[in-house]
Structure 1
Amino acid sequence: MSTIKMTNHGGSRKGAGRKPKSGGKTVVKRIPASLVGEVDNLIVQARTETKVPMDAMFPSKNPIELLIPLALEKIPAGFPSPAEPYIAEYIDFNKYLISNPAATFFARSGGQSMLDAGIDKDDILVIDRSVTPKHRDIVMADLGNEFTIKRLHKFPDGRIELHSENSSGDYPNFSPKEGDTWAIVGVLRFIIKDYR
């Protein structure tokens, strides 16, 4: 008569397998080999600099100069005036919108909390991380688990608040407290809208 020896092999075992790194749960993603270096650089940048949204867009490292004619006459928003066919100069939006390419990125507005400031959902926001934020600037802030666009208020007693600007809804302000994890990512420089 033979005996069958029972072993506890195979299947999952408590505590087995790779341990999660300090960053939390990991995932595997496949990317083209040509992008590995760029992704590695983005990871290093994300660990050493202020975070930016994952879907942020960055200016080209080799922008193509594109000169757009700028009319000599200002166009009145009130009463119409005869159009003058004169061109004052040409502008290149790479230079006009971006004063510091290494510190500039673009992000789409994700909501309507700043509607009264002229920022609609899906507007492209030009954010400059090299600009020192001043009282009443519109800033992008990292609140630890989310990004937000708000009006910066600096008070004489040192308090800072981030205010929403939409009178048609209940959009909260943010008042950082002692121990809160948050940072100002950059200052809004321009808004690019689609009016159609």
Structure 2
Amino acid sequence: MAKSSRTRGSGGRDPRSDHGGSRPGAGRPRGSGPYGEPTRPVRIPESLVVPIRELLERRLEAAAAARGGAPVADNVLTPDFAAPALHLPLFGDRVAAGFPSPADDHLDNKLDLNEHLVKRPAATFFVRVEGRSMIGAGIHPDDILVVDRSLEASNGNIVVAAVDGELTVKRLHYRRARLFLEPENPDYDPIEITGETDLVVWGVVTSVIHKV
């Protein structure tokens, strides 16, 4: 399976050590960096350097995929690290054909959906579904997928991947030394991944947010 990779330079000497002062026209033009707009330095706690860097990298990846023709890139979202915890009642009774009376003796615990759905915030993003190729797996149009980039995709996982620049969600399968991205709808054909396929696995789907 092809994986995305990044190469980071080690940096060179500070040019100011050899040249005094600034020169007219020197340096990078404003807005020519990876974000396409002016930037400014910001002081942040050391503990947040890695999460913020990963968040910015995911935004760049989403923008790059959009330029490559990904159909749902505009619907790629990231967790709000500043969102306050919201603990709601979690009842111990399981619902069969009704709803338990909200009495105190049925209250089992408190549930924060952020903690329940997002195990690794720095490695998680959300994406809204387009199309019906995965309805057999309970994934429907306009559902929101919770995707973990830190998990290694393995046989049988549902993954979000860019195939030749097009973003898709499919189930990953190995069969007889061949790799496929398979739909969960008989109306759609599997995608075979060959040596000529440009494949980048964005992450493994861990949950689906579905409105009824």
What's the TM-score, normalizing by structure 1? 0.69
Alignment of 1:40-51 (within 5 A): 42=56, 46=60
Does residue 165 in structure 1 map to residue 184 in structure 2?
yes
1:142: Cα distance to partner?
0.6
Contact 1:51 1:185 in 2 (8 A): no
Match of 2:114 among 94, 115, 123: 94
Runs of 4+ deviating beyond 2 Å? 41-47, 50-55, 79-85
Matches within 5 A, 1:24-173: 42=56, 46=60, 53-76=73-96, 83=101, 85=103, 86-155=106-175, 157-167=176-186, 170-173=187-190
Name the structure where helix makes up a greater proportion of residues.
Answer: 2
Displacement of 1:84 in angstroms is: 6.6
- What SS does the aligned partner of 1:175 have? strand
Aligned to 1:192: 209
Greater CA radius of gyration, 1 or 2?
A: 1
Paired with 1:43 and 1:135, the residues of 2 have a C-alpha distance of 27
CA contact (8 A) 2:78 2:125 kept: yes
> 3-state SS of the aligned residue for 2:77?
coil
Question: For each residue in 1:95-142, what CA deviation from the matched residue of structure 2 results, as whole angstroms up to 9, or x when unmatched?
Answer: 110011111111110010001111110001111111111211111111
> What 5-or-longer segments of structure 1 have no aligned partner?
1-29
Instruction: Kindly indicate whether the alpha-carbon contact (under 8 Å) linking 2:159 and 2:172 is maintained by their aligned counterparts in 1.
Output: yes
Whether the 8 Å contact between 2:151 and 2:203 is mirrored in structure 1 is yes
Does the CA contact (< 8 Å) of 2:158 and 2:204 recur in 1?
yes
Q: 1:180 to 1:34 in 2, by over 3 A?
A: closer
Among candidates 177, 180, 196, match of residue 194 of structure 2: 177
Residue 63 to residue 166, structure 1, CA distance change in 2 (3 Å) = same
Task: Provide closer, same or farther for how the CA distance between residues 158 and 63 of structure 1 changes in structure 2, counting only shifts above 3 A.
Answer: farther
RMSD over aligned CA atoms reads 3.2
Task: Tell me, yes or no, if the aligned pair for 1:106 and 1:127 is still in contact at 8 Å.
Answer: yes
CA distance in 2, matches of 1:110, 1:44: 20
TM-score by length of 2: 0.64
